[in-house]
Amino acid sequence: MVNAGEIRKPRNFVRRPAVCPFCTGKASIDYKNASVLSQYVSSRGKIGSRRRTKACAKHQRKLAQAIKRARFLALLPYAPSHIWKTGGVGLRRSMS
């Protein structure tokens, strides 16, 4: 609630445009790199949307194709039951 004597100051919120991590070169798409691909798969086993992954349309298509290839080669799980049994999505990152 605003008191009678207070004046609300308008907030000027400017959203920065989402920059594709693949266009900037911070990440690369490779179906063999399951630890990178697992970042773009939800805990339910679903491929993340463009809004969540911040990927452009071109790279989102390549990302989806790479995830599907990794699933076919059993590098990533298809179903959430596999994720629950193994304790995560994809390969664990080595701590070295």
Q: How far apart are CA 17 and CA 54, in angstroms?
A: 10
Q: What is the pLDDT along the chain (96 residues), one digit of tens a residue?
A: 556 667 777 778 888 888 899 999 888 899 999 888 988 998 888 999 999 999 999 999 999 999 999 999 988 888 877 767 766 666 555 544
Closest CA to 62 of 79, 47, 83, 43: 47
Contact yes or no for 38/90 (Cβ under 8 A) = yes
